Amino acid sequence: MHSDLIGKIEKARRYAEEPERIKFDELRATFHGGNSDHVITLKEGHWGCDCSFFHSWGTCAHVMAMQRILTPMLTSEALQADLALASTADALS
């Protein structure tokens, strides 16, 4: 194998262990919820979800789960607000 390519593969392995190097600017995903699938979006630090809970509250279990999974790869804006809500819920449970 070409030595340049080997170097890139090694670098990729190191990078893969440092997810905080990556910040999502946008994303769109299908979340397989308990009852049905939901489309989740992130754009310019703002989340969206097509479930009815999100419509009323501005966050939901789907978005909160995404925030937990992607924490190191989210901007502070994308982590804010809704995570504060989640920690309140943790304190209550």
Report the residue number, 4 or 60, with the smaller CB distance to Zn ion: 60
Could you write out the DSSP letters of every residue in the chain? --HHHHHHHHHHHHHHT-GGG---SEEEEEEE-SSSEEEEEEETTEEEE-SHHHHHHS--HHHHHHHHHHGGGS-HHHHTTHHHHHHHHHHH-
> Is residue 78 at the binding interface for Zn ion, with CB under 5 A as the rule?
no
Segment interacting with Zn ion (CB under 5 A) among 10-18, 19-27, 37-45, 78-86? 37-45
At position 89, the amino acid (one-letter code) is: A
Report the residue number, 11 or 71, with the smaller CB distance to Zn ion: 71
By CB under 5 A, the residues from 5 to 34 that bind Zn ion are none
The contact pattern for Zn ion, residues 46-75, with x = CB under 5 A and - = no contact, is ---x-x--x-----x-x-------------
Residues that bind Zn ion (CB under 5 A): 38, 49, 51, 54, 60, 62
